[in-house]
Amino acid sequence: MQLSQSIRLKQKQSMVMTPRLQQAIRMLQMNNLDLASYLEDQALENPFLEVGADSDASGDVSPEVGSDVGIGDASSETGGADLIDTDMKAGASPQDDPAANQEFDNRFDYSAADGPAGHLAGQGGQSGQGGDQDWDMIASTIAERPPSLFEHVGRQIDIAFSDAKQRMIAQILTGALLPSGWLGKSVEDIAEENDLARDDVAAVLVQIQKFEPTGIFAIGLADCLRLQAREAGLLDAAFNVLLDNLELLAQGKIDQLARRCKSSPEDVRDMLQHLRQFDPKPAETFFGEPDIVSAPDLIAYRGPDGWVVELNKSTLPGITIDENYAARLKKRVAAQAEQKFTMQALSSARWLKRAMEQRNETTLSIAAEIVRQQTPFLEKGANHLKPLLLRDVAKAVGMHESTISRVTTGLMIATPRGSVTLKSFFSVSLASDDNEAGTSAASVRHLIGEIVRGEVPGDPLSDDEIVSRINASGIAVARRTVAKYRQILKIPSSAERRRRARLNAPA
C-alpha cells in the first residue's frame, strides 16, 4: 500500500445561518405572548426600540374574497425584508428554538405605589406608617395564593391539639400524606420510624381524620369513602359491606353485591348513587394547577363577502423606532465607539421591525390558505374536515414545508367552531367512495364518537360493528384503525361500556 499527500481545491455552496436570519426564524415560530416577551427583552438592550400594542392595521387583515381567503398588502421595507422572506420560505431552521422556552418575567406596576402615598400626603403629609395607615403595597397588588395542603392541615392541627407531643405526631402524619390525601404509610411503619407508640399514633390519626376536606388521612380508597359516608350519615351495615367489596362493584356484579349486603339490587344502586357523590381523592384540588387559557393569535370570521382572517391585535405586540432620539444622539456623540453603538442599535431596531412585518405577513398568508381549504369545516362542522397535508399548503403559498410546520405548531386561531391550533386543521386521508380526495382522519374520529354516543347503553357496539357502519357510509377503515381512534378519543371498550351501563341502570 502506497501513501501519498495531495492538495485539492473544492468549491461548494451552502446557506449560512446569520444571527439575524436565526432571529427572524425564531420570531416566525413564536405565538403572540412569546413574541411580546422576546421583544421586551430586545427593547431593554436597544434604546431606540419601543414595544407596545400593535395599532397599525396595515397588512394584518386578509380581505374578503367570496369563499376564498386572500392576503392584504403588508407594509414592509425592501432589502433585508426580501432576504428574510426568501430564506424563511426556503425552510431555514435555527439551532436554538425559543418556542420551547415558555418562561415569562415577573412584572410589577410601580404606578400603583403612587396612589396611597399621594392620598396620604394630601391628608397632612403622613407617610402612611403606623396605626390605621399601614398599607402593604405588594400584598394588596398581588393576588393571594391559595393555601397548600400542608398549610391547610397545619392550621387545623394548631386548633385541634394543645399537647406538644400530639401536635408533633400530627405533623409527622401530615408529612406522610400523598397528593390524593391518603396516608402513604401504615400506622405501624410511622410509629417504628419515629420511635413512637402505635397507640399514640393511632389515637392522633383518629382525630385528624375528622379534618377538612373529609376523607383526608384515609388508609386506602375504602377508608376514604367510609369517612365521607360517616360524615354524611349514610354509614350503616349494608354500606360497610359495599365498601368492603369494591372489587365486585368495579366488575358491575350488582346481584352478587346485593346478596352480600342482604339488600335488593335497587338498594345497591341507590347506595351507588350516594357513593358517586364522594371524592375518592379529597386533597387533589390542592395540587391542581390553575387552568391557563391562551388567547388566540389569529381570528377567523365570516364577513359579508367571504371569510376574513386577521391577527389578534389584543395580544400582538407592535414595534416603534424612536428616529428623533436617534437623530439627536448622532449629533451629540463624538467618540467613535459611541457612534458605532448608535448605528448598530438603530440598524438592529429597523431590521427587527422588518422581521416583525415579515412574520405577520407569513403567518397571515398561511392561515388564510388553511381557512380557504377548510371552509367546509368552518361552515358545516367536524364531519366536513378535509384531508390536508403540510405540502398542500406549502405548494399553495410558495413556501417550504418546514416553514408551514413552524408557523402552525404553536399558533391558535379563533373560529366560529371554537379556538383551535392551526396544526389541528391538518389530517391524513382515508379512502372514500364518495370523494376522490378521501376523508380526513379527524372527521372519521368524529364519526366514531357520534356512533358511540348514539348506541344503546345496555347493548354497546363492538369495534367490528362500528367498522361496518363506517364502511356502509363509503369510508374504508380497518378494525385496528377504529380501535386506535377509539383509544385516542378515550372511549372504553364495548365490555367496559356494558359494565358501566349496568352500574348506571335506574333502580
In this structure, is residue 173 part of a structural domain?
no
* 3-class DSSP state of 270: helix
Residue 90: what pLDDT?
59
Closest by Cα among 404, 398, 402, 369 to 386:
369
- Whether the predicted pLDDT of 496 surpasses 70: yes
- Whether the predicted pLDDT of 73 surpasses 50: no
Do residues 375 and 440 share a domain?
A: no
- Whether the predicted pLDDT of 75 surpasses 60: no
- Residues 431-438, mean pLDDT to the nearest whole number: 54
Residue 89: what pLDDT?
57
Do residues 373 and 431 share a domain?
A: no
Average pLDDT score, the chain: 76
For position 474, which CATH number holds? 1.10.10.60
Q: How far, in Å, CA of 507 to CA of 270, rounded?
A: 7
310-314, 371-375, 498-502, range with the lowest pLDDT? 498-502
Do residues 382 and 302 share a domain?
A: yes
Residue 57: what pLDDT?
39
In this structure, is residue 236 part of a structural domain?
no
Residue 91: what pLDDT?
56
Confidence of residue 58 (pLDDT cuts 50, 70, 90): very low
Number of separate domains in the chain = 2
CB 75 within 8 Å of CB 59: yes
Distance of CA 316 to the CA centre of its chain: 19
Residue 313: what pLDDT?
87
In this structure, is residue 188 part of a structural domain?
no
Q: How far, in Å, CA of 130 to CA of 120, rounded?
A: 12
Residue 369: what pLDDT?
92
Do residues 432 and 353 share a domain?
A: no
Residue with cell string 404553536: 410
Angle formed at CA 68 by CA 63 and CA 69, multiple of 5 degrees: 40
Residue 69: what pLDDT?
53
In this structure, is residue 307 part of a structural domain?
yes
Higher-pLDDT residue of 450 and 94 is 450
E strand or H helix at 173, and its extent?
helix 164-175
Residue 92: what pLDDT?
54
In this structure, is residue 441 part of a structural domain?
yes
Highest mean pLDDT out of 13-17, 100-104, 121-125, 454-458: 454-458
Residue 85 CB: number of other CB atoms within 10 A? Answer: 17
* 3-class DSSP state of 317: strand
Q: pLDDT tens across 305-327, in order?
A: 888 999 988 888 888 888 888 78
Q: How far, in Å, CA of 226 to CA of 246, rounded?
A: 12
- Whether the predicted pLDDT of 376 surpasses 80: yes
DSSP secondary structure, 94-114, as one string: -SS-GGG---------GGGGH
- Whether the predicted pLDDT of 181 surpasses 80: yes
Residue 139: what pLDDT?
45
Residue 107: what pLDDT?
38
Residue 251 Ramachandran class (φ > 0 left, ψ -120 to 50 alpha, else beta): alpha
CB 158 within 8 Å of CB 209: no
Contacts of 307 (CB under 8 A, 6+ apart): 64, 67, 69, 300, 301, 371, 372, 375, 378
Which of 412, 446, 476 represents a domain boundary (last residue)? 412
- Whether the predicted pLDDT of 394 surpasses 70: yes
Q: pLDDT tens across 127-142, in order?
A: 444 444 444 444 444 4
Grid cell for residue 374? 377548510
> What percentage of the chain reaches a pLDDT higher than 70?
76
Give me the domain span that covers residue 492: 427-503
Residue 439 backbone phi and psi in degrees, to 5: -120, 140
Highest mean pLDDT out of 22-36, 217-231, 424-438: 217-231
Confidence of residue 439 (pLDDT cuts 50, 70, 90): low
Q: How far apart are the first and last CA of the chain?
A: 92
Q: pLDDT tens across 152-168, in order?
A: 888 898 888 888 888 88
CB 315 within 8 Å of CB 33: yes
* 3-class DSSP state of 309: strand
Residue 183: what pLDDT?
87
Residue 149: what pLDDT?
81
Do residues 447 and 363 share a domain?
A: no
In this structure, is residue 107 part of a structural domain?
no
In this structure, is residue 214 part of a structural domain?
no
Do residues 77 and 24 share a domain?
A: yes
- Whether the predicted pLDDT of 117 surpasses 60: no
In this structure, is residue 284 part of a structural domain?
no
Residue 143: what pLDDT?
52
